[in-house]
Amino acid sequence: MKKIIILAITALALFACKNDQQEQKKVLIKTKYGDMKVKLYNETPKHRDNFVKLVKDGFYDSLLFHRVIDGFMIQGGDPNSKDVDSAARLGEGGPGYKMEAEIVDTLYHKRGALAAARQGNQTNPEKKSSGSQFYIVDGRKYTDKELDQIEERMNMQKKNNIFREIIQQEEYSHIKKTYDSLRKAQDREGFNQFIQNEVEPLIDKKLEEKGKYELSEEQRKIYKNVGGAPHLDGDYTVFGEVYEGFNVIDSIASVETRSGRSNRPKEDIIMEMEMID
């Protein structure tokens, strides 16, 4: 009897997994360069449901891919990009709300990943997503050496952030006071000794507590063989992926853009979206 119950539970679990996979939401993104088919992750339900609602409401229809960077990503979803002139500044519009981050460790910025755009960490430390703007990763393949360099760079960035946190905390006011005093006196030798003996050990300890940035073997395999944008992992919500139409990503990412920092295509690239049954 016990064996029958276990088998029944196993069968139900397998059915649930299969059913969950069948119910994965899919979206068709139409452009003049062709169509992309996207599947949305069930691991990020808030972003999934929000995207589905916007697609069904026709929110994305006639909007632009307003920012493209070859070898990196294509971005769209700004409602201000609809029927707009060529001089308009884009990238700041949204539906009037933001989304709580749903950053899942096992969802990576591999080539074709669909992720939520957002404001930077300084103004948005909670990493809340734009309510509508998204990007699709174009990316490139990396070598082990390049991935090692990314780890090193990301950990240095974490260390800098930790130091900024330290000097703002009352319990470490003596560190800030000594730091400022040595800089003001231009005492290079004393400054270097202070950093080496007192500041760096404290930063290293806090980095260990917070956890170093380290790419898993799975990430390394993906970024070496599939490609993507590994430096974005852990910072933005990935909530889906392109499963058909990768050539369209390449075509859009490689178009000529306007001069300046906007990376806006010279020729408007309009999108239309609909759910796939």
What domains are there in the chain, each with its CATH number?
Answer: 24-140+226-276 (2.40.100.10), 144-210 (no CATH)
Are the beta carbons of 174 and 266 closer than 8 angstroms?
Answer: no
Residue 5: predicted pLDDT = 47
What are 108-118's pLDDT values in tens digits?
999 999 999 99
Contacts 24+ apart (CB under 8 A), 32-35: 32/269, 32/270, 33/248, 33/251, 33/252, 33/269, 34/245, 34/247, 34/248, 34/251, 35/244, 35/245, 35/248
What are 124-180's pLDDT values in tens digits?
999 999 999 999 999 999 999 999 999 999 999 999 999 998 988 898 889 889 998
Residue 15: predicted pLDDT = 46
Residues of the chain with pLDDT under 70: 1-22
DSSP string of 60-91? TTT-BEEEEETTTEEEE--GGGTT--TT---S
Residue 21: predicted pLDDT = 52
How much of the chain exceeds pLDDT 90, in percent? Answer: 73
What pTM does this model have? 0.85
Angle at 111 between CA 277 and CA 154, to 5 degrees: 135
Rounded CA-CA distance 207/139 in Å is: 28
Are the beta carbons of 24 and 45 closer than 8 angstroms?
Answer: no
